[in-house]
Amino acid sequence: MHNRLKNIYVSIDKCDVFADIGCDHGYIAKAMIVDKKCNTVIVSDISEKSLSKAKELLKDEIDKGRALAFVSDGFDNLPAVDSALIAGMGGKEIISILKRCEKLPEKLVLQPMKNCDLVRKTVVNIGYKIVSDKMFKDGIMFYNVISLVKGKDRLSEDEIIFGRTNLNSYNADFSEYLKSEIVKTGKYIENGASGTEKERLEKKLELMKKYVDDK
């Protein structure tokens, strides 16, 4: 498994019925069942072609009835699950999937490729609390993995932008991310950002410097 998938995998708790929404290759689903981290695994993908990879990987488990495979848009037409993963999709797609779901699982692990701030705001609004929200690096890319359980929560503006766990405990990858973002943001400003965009970037820069200095 790639480092990105390993980081996601360790964030998923043991459960009864687990669904990997947008599973594509199905590696996480396979590990969940092989490691006995769940009793039943559901692999689903909107693309039949993508799902066929997971079906091939999980052939034995499907034959034994321990894995079920569905072509599905998000949770549409899936049986109820107690835990689900949505990884490797844009934040807006993840939000649309969650908002359409009639029976949301007790636990969720999300790994949005972008718009993490919008995802954070949405999950809290639809009744989840943050268990952990941290950044990790794989190769040259930075990713966020957000673990949630149903409950009440309230996020500060900074937590919405950066992720609570990153702010509350030292994370070398997050620190590296901040340093590189400070350089990038400084360049955008120098290269002629103006008006409200300049104000927004300056505010972000100040905030990032504050967190780098705090560590």
- Between residues 97 and 119, which has the closer beta carbon with respect to ligand SAM? 97
CA distances (Å), origin 108, targets 21, 150, 178: 11, 9, 26
**Interaction between residue 45 and ligand SAM (CB under 6 A):** yes
Instruction: With contacts defined by CB under 6 A, name the span among 88-96, 98-106, 146-154, 207-215 that binds ligand SAM.
Output: 88-96
73 binds ligand SAM (CB under 6 A): yes
Q: Which is nearer to ligand SAM, 88 or 163 (CB)?
A: 88
Judged by CB under 6 A, which of 33, 43, 97, 146 binds ligand SAM? Answer: 97
d(CA 62, CA 67): 5
User: Smallest distance, Å, CB 6 to ligand SAM?
Assistant: 12
- Pick from 39, 47, 125, 168 the residue near ligand SAM by CB under 6 A: 47
Rounded CA-CA distance 43/183 in Å is 41
Q: Nearest 5 degrees, angle CA 204-CA 210-CA 211?
A: 95
Spatial CB neighbours of 184, under 8 Å, sequence gap ≥ 6: none
- Using the minimum distance from each CB to ligand SAM, give the nearer residue, 10 or 198: 10
In the three-class reduction of DSSP (H, G, I as helix; E, B as strand; rest coil), residue 25 is classed as coil
Question: What Å distances lie between residue 48 and 41, 72, 74, 80, 152, CA to CA?
Answer: 18, 9, 13, 21, 36
Decide: is 93 part of the binding site for ligand SAM (CB under 6 A). Answer: yes
Q: Say how far apart CA 8 and CA 1 lie, in whole Å.
A: 10
Q: Which of residues 24, 138, 158, 181 is near ligand SAM by CB under 6 A?
A: 24
Q: Which stretch in 15-23, 33-41, 182-190, 206-214 sits in contact with ligand SAM by CB under 6 A? A: 15-23
42 binds ligand SAM (CB under 6 A): no
CB nearer ligand SAM, residue 89 or residue 146: 89
Interface residue with ligand SAM among 33, 40, 88, 134 (CB under 6 A) is 88
Instruction: Give ∠ CA 213-173-188 in degrees, rounded to 5.
Output: 65
Cα 79 from chain centre: 22
Binding footprint of ligand SAM on the chain (CB under 6 A): 21-24, 45-47, 50, 73-74, 87-89, 93, 97
